[in-house]
Structure 1
Amino acid sequence: MIAMQYKILLPEDYDMNTIRKRVAVNGKKTDGFQDLLFKAYLITENKSEEKGSHNQYSPLYLWKDSIGMNKFIFDGFYNNILDSFGWQNIKISIPLICILENDFINSKYVIEIEKEILPATHMKSLDFSLIFHNCTGRVLIYNPDKWKCSEYYFFTNKPTSNNIGILYNILHLSM
């Protein structure tokens, strides 16, 4: 499996309804896409009550295989991002743990926690740092090139308190 995400930081005065409309029209185009386990169309807004929030569009993909990812990037599908937002760096990571519950498809929110992987003399496996009893899914990815990892916690209802990471709204979830 391969995780892929690009984070598009948008101007403070950007109308996020533009992204909502874009996803409403185009989101279903990735439903059933070759080798795609899921794509979560994620946004944050600077108008939210979350501390340090800003306007951002940050789709998160989990690919079963690189063939579908390569098709998405090089066969014209990613051109929609290039045409709308210009050249974006795509963060590529390796999924270590992926737990999707039966109600994962109903997820509406995601908390992302980014961490450094500290130097060590003996490697040991990474694990989730938090326990949420109402998660619909959990994904832990890492990038050994940058020695960073990200934890994603999916929810159907908005978590009550989030001072631990980035809270995203899911506009659409393709599977």
Structure 2
Amino acid sequence: MYAMQYEIKLPNDYDMDIIRNRVKMNGFKTDNFPGLSLKAYLIKEKDHNNITNIYAPFYLWNDSEGMNKFIFDGYYDNIISSFGWRKISIGIKYEAKIEKNIKKSRYLVEEYIDIQPVSSIKKLDIKSSFECYENTLSEVIIYNPEKWKVVKFSFVENLPNKLNEHVSYYEILHISN
């Protein structure tokens, strides 16, 4: 499995209802997309936790064929025509637990860690490096060996009371799977 995300930073005074309506009108179009395990339509709104407005869809692909179809067969052109050229971040699945009730998730909590150089990564316990949240409905852990970063995405109904400095969150507008 492969994860993919692009981030679209929007002006601080951008009306995020435009994105909400875009997702309401089009989010269903990726339901049952070939090779797609899930897509979460995510936003951050400028507030005391977020310094700017962001639209940042997250995809989890079963294989590279589905991802390639989305990027190169015209579907990604909708993003280019609406928001301009975007860099796409790619990650490799370390672990994914996708539950049937994932669509009850209202937020996605994102936590990053760096993998520091070690003499052996055989016994590296990646999972224990992350927070566990009480109301997690599903979770995905990905890594990027080019950057030696690991990211845990926790799909939750309610935001945790406290988030550390390595954690951010998104509001989920729609989940396709």
Same fold, TM-score > 0.5, yes or no: yes
Provide the residue aligned with 1:6 in structure 2: 6
RMSD: 1.3
CA distance in 1, matches of 2:71, 2:157: 30
Deviation at residue 160 of structure 1 after TM alignment: 2.9
1:100 aligns with 2:98: yes
CA distance in 2, matches of 1:147, 1:159: 27
Provide the residue aligned with 2:18 in structure 1: 18
Deviations 1:5-25 (A, max 9, x none): 011111111111111011011
**Count of matched residue positions in the alignment of Structure 1 and Structure 2:** 173
**Counterpart AA for 2:11:** P
Aligned-residue identity in percent: 46
CA distance in 1, matches of 2:131, 2:83: 34
Extract unaligned runs of 5+ from structure 1. none
Deviation at residue 125 of structure 1 after TM alignment: 4.7
Provide the residue aligned with 2:61 in structure 1: 63
- Structure 2 counterparts to residues 29-68 of structure 1, below 5 A: 29-46=29-46, 48-50=47-49, 52-68=50-66
Provide the residue aligned with 1:74 in structure 2: 72
Deviations 1:47-91 (A, max 9, x none): x342x4420011100000111111100111000100011010000
CA contact (8 A) 1:44 1:53 kept: no
CA contact (8 A) 2:133 2:160 kept: no
Deviation at residue 172 of structure 1 after TM alignment: 0.3
Extract unaligned runs of 5+ from structure 2. none
CA distance in 2, matches of 1:101, 1:167: 20
